[in-house]
Amino acid sequence: MARTDAVALLSVNAAKGREFDIVVIAGCVEGALPRTAWPQGLFEAWRLDGDRDPVSHARAIIDAERRRFVLAASRARDRVSFTSAKIDGRGEPSRYLAAFRPASATGAGIAPGTAPGTDTSADLGRADPDAAPLGPLEAAGALRRVATDQARPAAERLAAVATLAAMPATTAATNPATWWWRRDWTEDPDPIATDRRLRTSYSRIGTYEDCHLRYFYSSVAGLDDRTSYQMAFGKLMHTVFELAAKGEIAEDPTTLKAAYRARFDLAWFPSRVVAQQYWRDGMAMLALWHDGEAELAKRALAFEVPFEMEVGDHVIRGRIDRVDRVPGGDGEDHGIALLDYKTARIPASDEDARRSLQLAIYYLAALRDPELAALGIPVEMQLVYPARAAQGRFARARQRPGGDHAAEVERRLLPLLDGAAAEQFDPNPHADCHFCAFKPICPMWPQGEDFLAPVIPPAGLDQAGLDAERAE
Ligand code: SF4
């Protein structure tokens, strides 16, 4: 069954016999549409086809190209756009575009009488979209734009809504029940945190610290279901390191590589090139492990240690990649180090590590979780970067607890936990938005600024009125 949420990328010839709501014909330039240069054989075989002279032969080619152009343009049920662009400053729009007149009097697209070659932007789709809709889908879109434009007169907006209501509700575009912009936020009587007691993970509350709204979208609304190839690759490397450190596989390079090869999956990666890069990175990490890190890993006391602790009225859970003992100068154990592996190539600075909420939570967990507390006193938390060597081992960035570190961490955590439990989900103007997937629905960004706008239906018209009108 054909997918409705996808585009089809076709040559003109392959589009024959097919139809689409919207068609974009890319590259409408002289030389491509129509093609003006053809591969010629040693002999001019076309001369065998009757007694055509070169001029009539060229004319026949141009006619055939025009038919190709018309074939492409006629595949659209609703809208067709043509694009043409100069390459290295050269190129002219296709001569066939001059046959089209703009869809509106605004002059967008190819103006009447415009000679080919004077307009390099031949996108009729950029004409005023409300001026002359070509089909029901476009008409519905144009009417919805009028209805939601608060700058327009109320009578115009009301007329647009009434017209929409009169249109057959055969598509989502004409069915008001599917228009998100007509809906206000719903009040959920059930609080997210029962009795204001939040149960969350260290990574989620870290997101909340950066941006409350991002936490809401990803953790509360459950919109962030991405699993990245970086995560899959990171897990693979942890597994191989852990097996080697526990002695479950031999330390020699051949065995390490065999364990790595057996678990590496090309299907995780977006392309073969990316997979090859990661494959090489993994091999370099194994070499580094073998040459220096394996010796250090002999201090490991535990791997993948889960924890759960109370902070105020709330509960934070998580998992620590590795716990090492830290020997003192006298050879006796001085305490424990809590390690978190990172797949990033650029290590965090010591200052970033010192401020890391994740490492701070590890520290508190090592004091409060019974299983972790039994391993020793935490004296150091480390972010470990297998992709970067430092002194022949994996690079590290560290956080070391001061005298009142536990109290400081708790002071930092409590307002965050209380805020998330109280459902305070404002976006943060100072958040690190660079990798945020929610920009299209975030009011801090132009593409999402309408998302949380108040909904003001045209005067005298509400959903019940619309429904009643449609039923008549
Ligand atoms: S784009 Fe920035 S402000 Fe908006 S939700 Fe994402 S992190 Fe927060």
Of all protein residues, whose CA lies closest to atom 4 belonging to ligand 1? 442
**Is the CB of residue 441 below 6 angstroms from any atom belonging to ligand 1?**
no
Q: What is the rounded average pLDDT of the residues 460-464?
A: 55
The pLDDT-based confidence of 120 (bands split at 50, 70, 90) is very low
Q: Which two tokens stand for residue 370?
A: 């019974």
Give the Å distances, CA to CA, from 300 to 31, 238, 288, 296. 68, 13, 17, 8
What amino acid is encoded at 299 in this protein? R
DSSP state of 45: G
What local confidence, expressed as pLDDT, does residue 282 receive? 95
Determine whether the shortest distance from the Cβ of 444 to ligand 1 is under 6 A: yes
Percent of the chain at pLDDT > 70 equals 77
Q: How far is the CA of 395 from the centre of ligand 1 (A)?
A: 30
Crossing angle (nearest 10°) for helices 253-263 and 272-288? 150
- The residue whose CB lies within 8 Å of the most ligand 1 atoms, and thus the one to mutate among 207, 208, 210, 211, is 211
- Tokens found for residue 308: 């759960």
Residue 361 has pLDDT above 90, yes or no: yes
**What token pair was written down for 164?**
């929409």
For 330: left if phi > 0, alpha if psi spans -120 to 50, otherwise beta; the answer is alpha
Per-residue pLDDT at 108 exceeds 50 = no
In this predicted model, what pLDDT tens digit does every residue of 336-351 receive, in sequence order? Answer: 999 999 988 899 999 9
Q: Is the CB of 439 under 6 A from ligand 1?
A: yes
Q: Are 340 and 234 within 8 A, CB to CB? A: no
- In this predicted structure, which of 8-22, 45-59, 284-298 has the lowest mean pLDDT? 45-59
Confidence label for 189 from pLDDT (cuts 50, 70 and 90): low
Amino acid at residue number 77: R
Mutation pick for ligand 1 pocket among 439, 441, 449, 452 (CB with most ligand atoms within 8 Å): 439
One-letter amino acid of 435 = F
Residue from 204, 217, 442, 451 to probe ligand 1 pocket by mutation (most atoms less than 8 Å from CB) = 442
**Is residue 130's pLDDT more than 80?**
no
Q: Looking at ligand 1, which atom is closest to the CA of residue 432?
A: 7
Choose the weakest-confidence range: 329-338, 349-358, 413-422: 329-338
Q: Tell me the domain boundaries of the chain.
A: 13-131
212 CA closest ligand 1 atom index: 8
Task: Note every long-range contact of 346-349, with CB atoms under 8 Å and residues 24 or more positions apart, other chains counting.
Answer: 346/388, 347/383, 347/385, 347/388, 347/390, 347/395, 347/396, 347/397, 348/383, 348/397, 349/397
> Which distant-in-sequence residues (6+ apart) come within 8 Å of 105 by Cβ?
131
Whether 406 is in the pocket of ligand 1, judged by its Cβ within 6 Å, is no
Instruction: Report whether residue 428 contacts ligand 1, using a CB cutoff of 6 Å.
Output: yes
Q: Is the CB of 425 under 6 A from ligand 1?
A: no
200-247: per-residue pLDDT in tens?
998 899 999 999 999 998 888 877 756 678 888 999 999 999 999 999
pTM confidence score:
0.58
Residue 155 has pLDDT above 70, yes or no: yes
- Higher pLDDT: 455 or 287? It is 287
Q: Is the dihedral of CA 117, 129, 4, 445 positive or negative?
A: positive
Architecture of domain 13-131: 2-Layer Sandwich (3.30)
pLDDT value of position 405: 93
CA 106, 108, 112, 117: dihedral to nearest 10 degrees? 150
Q: Which of 207, 209, 213 to mutate to test the pocket of ligand 1 (most atoms within 8 A of CB)?
A: 213
Q: What is the pLDDT of residue 305?
A: 94
Q: Is the pLDDT of residue 324 over 90?
A: yes
Average pLDDT rounded to a whole number, residues 387-391: 91
Taking the C-alpha atoms of residue 332 and residue 327, their distance in angstroms, rounded to an integer, is 6
Q: How remote is the CA of residue 445 from the centroid of ligand 1, in Å?
A: 8
